C-alpha cells in the first residue's frame, strides 16, 4: 500500500498555496489572539515545533475550534490559479502499481479540490483528511503514531507492507516507529524550507529512520510483502 502526503508531495504547494496559507494563518492568529503580525508568526512557529501543527497549539493553549480554523485558513477562491503539479511526476503516479491512499493534515474540502483540479482523485481509493484523525474525542493529526496505527487497522493493512511518501521528516519518523517504510520526497523541499517553519533538516543527508530519499516518483520501489 502506498500512502501519500498531499501538499508538497503530490503538487508544488510551496509555489503559491503555502505562502498564501501562511498569511491566512498569521491573520487568523493575530485577530483571534489579539496580537500583531510578528507575534502571530512567533506563535505559529512555536506551535509547529511543539505540537507538529499550528492548529494543535491553538486548540490546546487557546481553545480554538478546529472546524473554524480550518474553514478560515483554507478558503482559497482562486485555488485553480495556485496549483502546480509536474506532468512527469503525475505520469509516474499513474504508472505506479498498487493500492494508494492520501493521508493529509488538510481539511477534506480543500484536499478534494486540490486532487480534482490536479486530475489525481481517480488514482486513490481513499482520502484521509484531518477530520478523520479523531480518536476518543481528540484530534491526532500527523505525526501522531497512534493515528497512523488506527488508519492501518481501519484499512486492514500491515505496517511492513506500507510505504509513506512524505516531504516532512517528523511524519516519516512517526511512520518508522510503527514499522512502516518511509520515503522522503524532496522535489519541492528547497522552496518549502523557505515557505514554512521550522527550518528543514540538512537536505544533503538521509536520516536513519528514512528508507529512501527521492526527487522523483519514478524512483519509488514497492515494499516487500510479508
What's the CATH code, domain 17-79? 1.10.150.450
Contact 12, 84 (CB under 8 A): yes
pLDDT(150) > 60: yes
Contact 189, 12 (CB under 8 A): no
Judged on CB neighbours under 10 Å (0-12, 13-18, 19+), 95 is: exposed
Nearest C-alpha neighbor of 90 from the set 9, 182, 16, 191: 9
User: In this predicted structure, what is the pLDDT of residue 75?
Assistant: 95
Which is more confidently placed, 66 or 136? 66
For domain 2-12+84-219, the CATH architecture is 3-Layer(aba) Sandwich (3.40)
Q: Peptide bond preceding 117: is omega within 30 degrees of 0, i.e. cis? A: no
Per-residue pLDDT reduced to its tens digit, 175-198 = 999 999 999 999 987 655 544 444
pTM of the full structure: 0.90
Per-residue pLDDT reduced to its tens digit, 47-88 = 988 888 899 999 999 999 999 999 999 999 999 999 999 999
Cα 157 to Cα 154: distance, rounded to the nearest angstrom = 8
In the chain, where are the structural domains located?
A: 2-12+84-219, 17-79
Cα 65 to Cα 218: distance, rounded to the nearest angstrom = 40
Contact 168, 194 (CB under 8 A): no
Amino acid at each position: 500500500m502506498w500512502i501519500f502526503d498531499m501538499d508538497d508531495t503530490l503538487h508544488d504547494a510551496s509555489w503559491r498555496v503555502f505562502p498564501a496559507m501562511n498569511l491566512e494563518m498569521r491573520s487568523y492568529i493575530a485577530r483571534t489572539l489579539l496580537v500583531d503580525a510578528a507575534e502571530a508568526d512567533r506563535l505559529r512557529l512555536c506551535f509547529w515545533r511543539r505540537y507538529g501543527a499550528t492548529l494543535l497549539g491553538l486548540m490546546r493553549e487557546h481553545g480554538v475550534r478546529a472546524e473554524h480554523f480550518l474553514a478560515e485558513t483554507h478558503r482559497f477562491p482562486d485555488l485553480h490559479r495556485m496549483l502546480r503539479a509536474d506532468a512527469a511526476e503525475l505520469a509516474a503516479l499513474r504508472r505506479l502499481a498498487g493500492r494508494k491512499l492520501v493521508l493529509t493534515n488538510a481539511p477534506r474540502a480543500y484536499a478534494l479540490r486540490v486532487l480534482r483540479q490536479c486530475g489525481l482523485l481517480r488514482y486513490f481509493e481513499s482520502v484521509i483528511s484531518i477530520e478523520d484523525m479523531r480518536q476518543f474525542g481528540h484530534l491526532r493529526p500527523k505525526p501522531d503514531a497512534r493515528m497512523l496505527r488506527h488508519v492501518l487497522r481501519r484499512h486492514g493493512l500491515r505496517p511492513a507492507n506500507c510505504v509513506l511518501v512524505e516531504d516532512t521528516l517528523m511524519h516519516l519518523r512517526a511512520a518508522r516507529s510503527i514499522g512502516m517504510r518511509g520515503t522522503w520526497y524532496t522535489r519541492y523541499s528547497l522552496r518549502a524550507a523557505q515557505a514554512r517553519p521550522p527550518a528543514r533538516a540538512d537536505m544533503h543527508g538521509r536520516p536513519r529512520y528514512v528508507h529512501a530519499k527521492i526527487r522523483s516518483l519514478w524512483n519509488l520501489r514497492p515494499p516487500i510483502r510479508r
